[in-house]
Amino acid sequence: MNAIQIGAAPLTLAQLRLARLGPVAVTLTDAAWADVERGSAAIQAIVAEGRTVYGVNTGFGLLANTSIAPGDLETLQKNLVLSHACGVGAPLDAGVT
């Protein structure tokens, strides 16, 4: 299986072609993992301090002024990802996806 490593550098056309042509293993560089961990720590600090931050502990769009209960924050973020992970129409052939 081909592999793509995601880090600070943009993906090359060759890497994008690999992803288009078949299954690829995707990994993050150590620096990218460190960035993810720093971001996670920042979000955890925001929540622990009780600060209100759009999209972290509020709704989105018209619901921006709606506070989300701490116990529902994980569901809020999961639903955000799921709302952007949908398709419409007939499934595409593997070579197209």
CB under 8 A, 24+ apart: contacts of 42-51: 47/73
* pTM of this structure: 0.72
Per-residue pLDDT tens listing for the chain (97 residues): 899 999 999 999 999 999 888 889 999 999 999 999 999 999 999 999 999 999 999 999 999 999 999 999 999 999 999 988 877 788 777 766 6
Q: How far apart are CA 19 and CA 26, in angstroms?
A: 9
Domain segments of the chain as ranges: 1-50, 52-86
